[in-house]
Structures are given as structure tokens and as C-alpha cells.
Amino acid sequence: MNSPLLNRSTQTINSQRMAPPTGRSPLLPILTQDSLRGRDILGIEDLSAQELEIILGVAFLLKQHKFDDTQTLFARGQSLAMLFEKPSLRTRVTFEAGMIQLGGSAINLEGKLGERESVADVARNLDRWLDGIMARVFQHATLLELAQHAKIPIINGLSDLEHPCQALADFLTIKEAKGQFKKLKVAFIGDGNNVANSLALMAAKLGVDFTIACPKGYEPNQELWQKALSFANVTDSSLVITHSPTEAATAADAVYTDTWVSMGQEEESDRRKLEFQKYQVNSALMSHSKPDAIVMHCLPAHRGEEITDEIIDGNQSVVFDQAENRLHVQKALLSLIL
Ligand code: CP
Ligand code: NVA
């Protein structure tokens, strides 16, 4: 048969097509790595340094062998519910693509939980049909309630308190860019929000120095910060809260920022934009960091507010590596817990 499709040049195709397995795959040990099997991933708070390293190691392996067909065994026949109370691009797409690449499937559900039926009943239903739940919620308590009533693992896809999947992808990105975690300083410029809380906890557990510069009244969650301080005691990392962006950026290896107005805070938008004006990541601020510092943002970005075009599009920016790494980290979590 002479079909034009068969003659199509593969050089112009930018596909994610997997190759058939050849010999023994380096991914096979992931199948028997059971230390996190069945676990909820509600926050960085609950994961030990060793567990964080396992997840990062598996994500790195999956990224290195992203076209290895063996990965389609990791969630074969399994399904994940994705519950979204808030919008999403990265979390939504990477969890669904991740499940497909691992041989499973994902089901998207949108809307406020607890309105049509109780959160407990939602959990008890999904539990009978599926293998895991990823939820993006307004209140962290909703995740705790899902976890209490479902036997299948619950993954936090962002709550008011933590964004653990983001922090995992971010530390994978830092490791790729810097080669190691020891003696690094991460500066977070902006709101002490969910992303900042997870980054502070993860830095403390991995022995990375972390300084946040925020306006008065926008510090990280107090309880989580106290926990981070106790982890930092063990790993000997330094955790600092300052109101000076310059102090935070000075000698930093990574300068991170996030929106000044998180989802659900839209009514505070005008006040926040005024109070955060001094906290923009721009070239003046970057001049205080190390010359090879990387620039990070979890996205979506509000260009011209928390970060300038020049910096987010500049050669120190790793924001799309962070976004790519969401996929590899999601796949690592799913492979390890489902
Ligand atoms: N960074 C992040 O979680 O992106 P989404 O809100 O698009 O999922
Ligand atoms: N802090 C932001 C993160 C978005 C990924 C928010 O909660 O909206």
C-alpha cells in the first residue's frame, strides 16, 4: 500500500510518542517502590526529607526516560478524579496527561464541593469507583474531609495553605539548574501564600536557605512557619522573614515570585496591588542576586505586576522548566501512590 501518511517526514513532528520497550527498562524499579503506596499527599508538611528525595528521584527518572513505554504499566487500568473548585491550566493538564501516559485515565469535575451533596458523600462515592482523587480547593479543611472519608489517596492540587505539587516541581527545577541543594539560598518576593508555605517547608526539609520578603501582614502561615523552623533546625538551613526585597534577593541563587492576588482574593485586589508595589521582581532587584541566579514563578504570571517581561522572558528565567516539571512530578506521585 502506498499511503502518503507512511511517507510523512518524522522530522517535523513534535510528538510525545512512546517507543516500544527494548530490553530491561530503567523505569522498572518504580513498580516495586511501595514506600508511599496508598498515601495522601496533602502537604509538604507531611512528607519526610527521604520521601521528598524519593519523589524527586522518580520524577527525574521519568523525565529522563519520558518516551519509555514501560511507564504505561504504572497506572494501567486506574482512574483519577480531578476536582476543581478553582481554575487551572498546569495542574489540570499535567494530571490528565500524566495519567494517560501512565496507562490510566482522569475524570475532570468542576464546582464547589459540598454544595450539591456533602464532601463526605462525594468521597464515599469516588472511593467505590476510582483509584485516587486530586483536588484543588478553597479550604484546606475540604481536603482533610475528603481524606477522612475516602480510602483512596487524596492529592492536594492547591489549597489555601499549601501547593505541594508545585513545590516538588520547583525543587526538581532547582536541582537541575544548580546540581545540588546544599548552600543554596532561595528568595521568595511577595505574598506569604500557599506556594510560599510549601516552598519554605520543602527548603527547610532539604537544607536549603529560604528568605521571604513580604509587606507587613502578608507573612507565611504562622503554624507552618513554626514547623518549617523546627525542620530547619535539623537540617541547619536558615529561614528568614523580612520586609526588604533587597535583603531577600541579596546573594540569592533563585529568586521566586507569585501573584499578589491569589484565586479567591479578587475582592482585595486594589489594596494588594498598592501594598505589594515595592515587591516587583525586576532588573534592579535581580542586580542584588548572584549573577547566575535563576528566576522562578509558578504561573500564571501577571506581567508588569509581580514580575517584568524583561525578567520573566530573560535568560535567567526557568519558569517553563518549572511548568514542564509539573508533569514529571505528577507522574512520579501517581506512580508511587496509586
Ligand atoms: N501553577 C499552577 O498550579 O498552575 P495552574 O493554576 O494553571 O494549575
Ligand atoms: N498563589 C496562587 C497560585 C496559583 C497557581 C493562587 O493560589 O492563586
Among 85, 158, 193, 195, name the best residue to mutate to test ligand 1's pocket (greatest count of ligand atoms within 8 A of Cβ). 158
Cα 298 to chain centroid distance, Å, stands at 8
For residue 304, what are the contacts with CB-CB under 8 A and spacing of at least 6?
none
Question: Phi/psi of residue 265, each to 5°?
Answer: -110, 20
Whether pLDDT at 126 is above 90:
yes
- Report strand pairing: 209-213 vs 239-242: parallel
Specify whether 297 is located in the same domain as 180. Answer: yes
Residue 206 lies in a domain: yes
Both 169 and 302 in one domain: the answer is yes
Q: How many C-beta neighbours within 10 Å does residue 127 have?
A: 16
Q: Do both 308 and 331 map to the same domain?
A: no
Q: For residue 42, what is its C-alpha cell? A: 496533602
Kindly state the cell numbers that stand for 260: 499578589
The rounded Å distance from CA 136 to ligand 1 centre is 10
Asked whether 312 and 303 are in contact (CB, 8 A), the reply is yes
Q: Find the catalytic residue in 68, 90, 131, 136.
A: 136
For ligand 1, atom 4, the nearest C-alpha belongs to 90
Q: What is the pLDDT of residues 79-117, one digit of tens each?
A: 999 999 999 999 999 999 999 999 999 999 999 999 999
How many domains does the structure of the chain reveal?
A: 2
CA dihedral 75, 79, 80, 84 (to 10 degrees): 140
With a pLDDT cut of 90, the percent of the chain lying above it is 92
Banded pLDDT at 258 (limits 50, 70, 90): very high
User: Which residue lies with its CA nearest to atom 6 of ligand 2?
Assistant: 262
Split at pLDDT 50, 70, 90, the class of 129 is very high
CA of 103 to the centre of ligand 2 (A): 29
Instruction: Decide if 166 is catalytic.
Output: yes
User: Which numbered ligand comes closest to the C-alpha of 196?
Assistant: 2
> Cell match 537541575: residue?
176
Q: What is the pTM of this model?
A: 0.95
- Model confidence at 8, pLDDT cuts 50, 70, 90, reads very low
**Closest by CA position to 209, among listed 245, 172, 251, 244:** 251
Q: Is 3 within the bounds of a domain?
A: no
Q: 128 in a domain, yes or no?
A: yes
pLDDT value at 22 more than 80: no
214 among known catalytic residues: no
Q: How far is the CA of 171 from the centre of ligand 1 (A)?
A: 16
Quickly state the pLDDT bin for 14 (edges 50, 70, 90). Answer: low
At 170-228, the pLDDT tens digits run 999 999 999 999 899 999 999 999 999 999 999 999 999 999 999 999 999 999 999 99
* CB neighbourhood size of 72 (10 A): 15
Backbone angles phi, psi at 10, to 5 degrees: -80, -15
Cα torsion 315, 318, 323, 325: sign = positive
Residue 286 has pLDDT above 50, yes or no: yes
Tell me the three state secondary structure of residue 17.
coil
Same domain, 92 and 228: no
Look-up: residue for cell 481554575?
Answer: 87
Q: What is the mean pLDDT of the chain?
A: 95
Residue 142 forms part of a structural domain: yes
Q: What is the CATH number of the domain that holds 83?
A: 3.40.50.1370
Ligand 2, atom 3, residue with closest C-alpha: 262
pLDDT in tens, 45-75: 999 999 999 999 999 999 999 999 999 999 9
Inter-axis angle of helices 119-129 and 140-149, nearest 10: 50
Mean pLDDT of 6-35: 74
Is 134 a domain residue? yes
The verdict on the CB of residue 159 being under 6 Å from ligand 2 is no
pLDDT band at 163 (very low <50, low <70, confident <90, very high): very high
Q: Residues 3-24: what's their mean pLDDT? A: 61
Given a contact cutoff of 8 angstroms between Cβ atoms, the answer to whether 325 and 302 are in contact is no
Tell me the β-bridge partners of 297: 257
Domain assignment present for residue 19? The answer is no
Q: Which residues pair with 212 in a beta bridge?
A: 188, 241
CB-based contacts of 335, cutoff 8 Å, min separation 6: 30, 58, 62, 71, 74, 75, 102
Question: Is the CB of 193 inside a 6 Å radius of any atom of ligand 2?
Answer: yes
